[in-house]
Chains A and B, each alone.
Chain A
């Protein structure tokens, strides 16, 4: 199975400041079709998860452009350019290049 790791696991942030979360996979996520199926999800308190980014860097519909994704192969990053209060929650990376699909442990983002 592909193991996903995230750092940090806890991220206190200042409103208006940038934030960054790293995700690493134990194997390359480049699929046979040439795509890299790495997604980022946000889970606000008491809510179901919500897709933010798919295929490394593609924002899902309705996602603000302050969220961006980057990376290649086994190393990926989610960046929030200016954190807002509504960004509090847990962020997960997920790979769907290989079965079983696997998630990172989550990074809890809260306001300092």
Chain B
């Protein structure tokens, strides 16, 4: 059974950094692409970025709104994918979901506020 568990959400000040984790189980992480998607409070869904699989050298793509500030990485030994978020802005406040094989995690809340 595919399971995705996000963690690391927190309250952070504007300009700060945070790293989110997504622990994956039930599938071979290296074989699959992984997406991060976010949802601001009371709003719709916004794609954040993608990490392709090992066969495609784990290359990444990012939404224009986060490119240059956010970075996706993986640790196959930990069966985890990470979202490093730097230079955070108030508009980055959202629940962040990781997505793989059509499955979504429960999300983790990031609040950017002074």
A103 touches B102 (CB 8 A): no
B47 touches A51 (CB 8 A): no
Q: Is the interface of A mostly helix, strand, loop or mixed?
A: loop
Interface 1/0 per residue, B45-73 and A, CB below 8 Å:
11100100000000001111000000000
Asked if B105 lies at the interface with its beta carbon under 8 angstroms from chain A, I say: yes
Q: Chain A contacts of B102 at CB under 8 A? A: 51, 54, 60-61
Q: Is the interface of B mostly helix, strand, loop or mixed?
A: strand
Residue of A nearest to B44 (CB): A106
Residue of B nearest to A1 (CB): B64
Interface 1/0 per residue, A72-112 and B, CB below 8 Å:
00000000000000000000101000011111111000000
- B35, B47, B62, B106: the one contacting A48 at CB < 8 Å is B106
- A1, A94, A99: the one contacting B45 at CB < 8 Å is A94
A100 touches B104 (CB 8 A): no
Q: Chain B contacts of A54 at CB under 8 A? A: 102
| Distance between A76 CB and nearest chain B CB, rounded to angstroms | 17
Interface 1/0 per residue, B17-33 and A, CB below 8 Å:
00000000000000000
Asked if A66 lies at the interface with its beta carbon under 8 angstroms from chain B, I say: no
B64 touches A100 (CB 8 A): yes
By a beta-carbon cutoff of 8 Å, the part of chain A in contact with chain B is 1, 41, 48-51, 54, 60-61, 92, 94, 99-106
